[in-house]
Amino acid sequence: MIALKSKVEIDRLKAQLRTDFEMKDLREAKKILGMEIQRDRRKGTVCLTQTQYLKKILQRFGVDGKTKPVSTPSTPHFKLSASMSPHTEK
Amino acid sequence: MAQIPYANAVGALMYAMVCTRLDISHAVSMVSRYMHDLRKGHWQAVKWILRYIHGTTDSGLKFERDDRLGQNLVGYVDSDYVGDLDKHRSIIGYVFTLAKGPVSWRSTLQSTVALSTTEAEYMTVTEAFKEAIWLHGLIEDLGLVQEHVNVHCDSQSAICLAKNQVHHSRTKHIDVRFHFVREIVDEGDILLQKFGTADNLADMLTKCVSRIKF
């Protein structure tokens, strides 16, 4: 992945690399490490999402269309502690 | 409980959290503490996170151009005093934003027990400062020169402690390593500023928030 401020520089670097390595030009980056990249040049925004990965893990753990979504990642009524684990009797 | 893919689920969520989903970092850090010895309640919490993800698969990070201050690296810190019920350690949370989007975040348990909320905040500030110094150097290498980094903290007492060299009976036990903060503040590389809790982005890393703030 090449990121530079000027397009001319990018083209020059690509040409230089092409002389030494066999390479394939995939144009503008759409995905990196499983993250999707969305760019909006007009608004000047870049968004990173993992929609595909998240859908895959939801499927793997049996969350489907029938599951009701919730609006918070956690709720205060989950008071997690180790004491929820079984104790060894003394 | 042995057949439950708890570790797999937590691992999968953790990967998402590390890449683009800082909104679940507090919840994931909570459930990841019980890998070795889980009960029903822990698995329910994991399922809750999965249901949350189910409704928000499209959420991610958004970076925006902002000519005023958006290009700058800004930090937010928060802590939750005695957030852990087992060893009574506090939770630290910080997030750094660049170009209006979060670039570095963490929600974790403190390594030692804090005796007061001020101390908990102060320890969080220390952790955030370490990150700030590294990020400051990194963006400088990338060609973004910034004079100083602003770190926002909602605890006035922690800020006073950092700026003031006064020795108090209630703070004298705070270890030398936390006075690292004072040294950095003195040098002026990082500015520590008061910030309202309502605007604090790091809030969501230390407690359950009802909606995504960013």
Looking up residue B81, the CATH number of its domain turns out to be: 3.30.420.10
Say yes or no to pLDDT of B119 above 50: yes
**Strand runs labelled E in B59-214:** 60-64, 74-80, 91-98, 101-109, 149-153, 190-194
Percent over 90 (pLDDT), chain B: 0
Confidence of residue B212 (pLDDT cuts 50, 70, 90): very low
Q: Which residues of B touch A53 (CB under 8 A)?
A: 15-16
Residues in chain A with pLDDT < 50? Answer: 86-87, 89-90
**Residues from chain B contacting residue A85 (CB–CB below 8 Å):** 34, 37-39
Residue-wise pLDDT for B65-79, tens only, equals 766 655 678 888 888
Selected for mutation to probe chain B from A42, A58, A72, A77 (highest B CB count within 10 Å) is A72
- B6-58 pLDDT, tens digit per residue, is 888 888 888 888 888 888 888 888 888 888 777 888 888 888 888 888 888 88
Element (H, E) at B129: helix B117-141
pLDDT score of B166: 66
Domain boundaries, chain A: 27-63
Interface test with B, best of A9, A33, A81 (most B CBs within 10 A): A81
**Contact predicate B30/B23, CB 8 Å:** no
Please name the residue of chain B whose CA is at the shortest distance from the CA of residue A73. Answer: B49
Average pLDDT over residues B134-140: 87
Same domain? For B89 and B183 the reply is: yes
Instruction: Judge if B24 and B104 occupy the same domain.
Output: no
Q: Which two tokens stand for residue B73?
A: 């690296």
Residues B48 and B113 placed together within one structural domain of the fold = no
Q: Do residues A68 and B207 touch, judged by C-beta distance below 8 A?
A: no
Cross-chain residue pair A53–B16, CB shorter than 8 Å: yes
Domain that holds residue B157: 74-205
